[in-house]
Amino acid sequence: MPRSRFHQPSVLPGFGLTLGFTTFFLSALVLLPLAALLVMAGSMHWADFVRVVTSPRALGSYRLSFGASLLAASINMVFGFVIAWTLVRYEFPARKLVDALIDMPFALPTAVSGIALTSVFAANGWIGRYFALAGIKIAYTWIGVTIALTLIGMPFMVRTLQPAISEVQRDLEDAAETLGAGRFYVLRRIVLPTVLPALLTGFTLAFARAVGEYGSVIFIAGNIPMKTEITPLLIVIHLQEFDYRGAAALGAVMLVASFCVLLTINLIHAWGRRRIAGTAR
């Protein structure tokens, strides 16, 4: 009897069992709810669907949600790298403490971080007042939204980069240095390409988290339609008006858009990995 070509004999037992669990959990927790969402959205008339998802208010919210999330993830790529580098490469007195602080945004209820950020960045807050003097408003603008999303995504980036950076062999940097390369050249040509996969993974995680973020953003965003209203909030508004289908339609758009972004990043990732590992193995 020909066996499934996926089922290859393995020294590790339990393939059938673990695959069963994987399928069950993914179906129950991810696929079924998502399918329900699509079914709900699909039960609308096409014209209604288009009207809801292309309303100016919806378009504005997409721009803010995806724009701010991409921007926040990009900011995290730079500063998260610096933080991770500092934590891995240097020995300083409060290193352990700083390392523990990184996880705080994971643990805080997002609403709490939202309120905290708002109080600091509002026009009369500790930091906001100085920006207000310069005529820059942070809270209740897209800048505030970006700051909130950066905070939320930062631990994902740092925690992904730390192991990758500690794996960068000092010897590689030493070798480059003896060959005549300066610090910046070594960073650009040796260190960054080596940690690129982790950088992309961190970006993916931070971005995904930011797109779905709700709690921390609504406090600092001010939620002005067309300007500082994020898509998740718009969905909640639809729900409060008992427009479940409209909410599902917006949800479906977010789902597809997020999927496309994540797929793109993963493809880049796979391409990079193939290039580094070579075709031999």
Partner 1 sequence: MGRMSIALDQVTKRYQGATVVNDVSLDIGDGEFFVLLGPSGSGKSTLLRAIAGLTGVDHGRIALHGRDVTHLAARKRGVGLVFQNYALFRHMTVADNIEFALRVRHVRAAKRRARRKELLRLVALEGMDERLPAQLSGGQQQRVAVARALAHNPEVLLLDEPFGALDAKIREELRRTIRQVQRELGITTVLVTHDQEEAFALADRIGIMNLGRLLELGRPDDLYARPATRFVATFLGAANLLLARESARGISFGAGPVLVPRAAGAPIRDREVVIVLRPEEIELAASRDRLTTAHIADGTVEEILFSGALERLRVRLQRGAAGAHVVRSDDGSDEPHLEITRTQHEQRALPLGPGQSVALGVRRLHVLSTPLSSFTVFAASEDLAQALKDEPLLASLAARMKTRIAVRLEPGAAVGDPQTRCGGAAVIRALPAMANCVRGLLARGAEAVLILPQHARTPQRVLIHCVDESARRATLAVSASLLRHMSAEAVYVGILPSDDAVGAQRPTGMRALLDARSEAQALHGLDVRTELRFGSAASELALRLGESPDSLLVLGIAALTDLESFASLLETPRWPVLVVREPAQPLEGREPERVGDELLRLA
User: What does the binding site for partner 1 look like in residue numbers (CB under 8 A)?
Assistant: 169, 171-172, 174-182, 185, 189-190, 193-194, 275-281
C-alpha–C-alpha distance, residues 187 and 199, integer Å: 14
* Closest CB 95 distance from partner 1, rounded Å: 18
- Residue 193 or 225: the one with the smaller Cβ distance to partner 1 is 193
Q: Which residues of 110-122 are buried (b: 16+ CB within 10 A; e: fewer)?
A: beebbebbbebbb
Burial of 271 (0-12, 13-18, 19+ CB in 10 A): exposed
Closest by Cα among 231, 218, 257 to 57: 231
φ/ψ of residue 229, rounded to 5:
-110, 120
* Closest CB 103 distance from partner 1, rounded Å: 31
- Residue 226 or 267: the one with the smaller Cβ distance to partner 1 is 267
- Residue 94 or 280: the one with the smaller Cβ distance to partner 1 is 280
* Closest CB 86 distance from partner 1, rounded Å: 21
Query: Any idea which residue has 């393939």 for tokens?
Result: 15
* Closest CB 270 distance from partner 1, rounded Å: 15
* Closest CB 267 distance from partner 1, rounded Å: 18
3-state SS assignment for residue 44: coil
Neighbours of 168 (CB within 10 A): 17
- Residue 191 or 247: the one with the smaller Cβ distance to partner 1 is 191
Alpha carbons within 13 A on the beta-carbon side of 94: 5
- Residue 4 or 279: the one with the smaller Cβ distance to partner 1 is 279
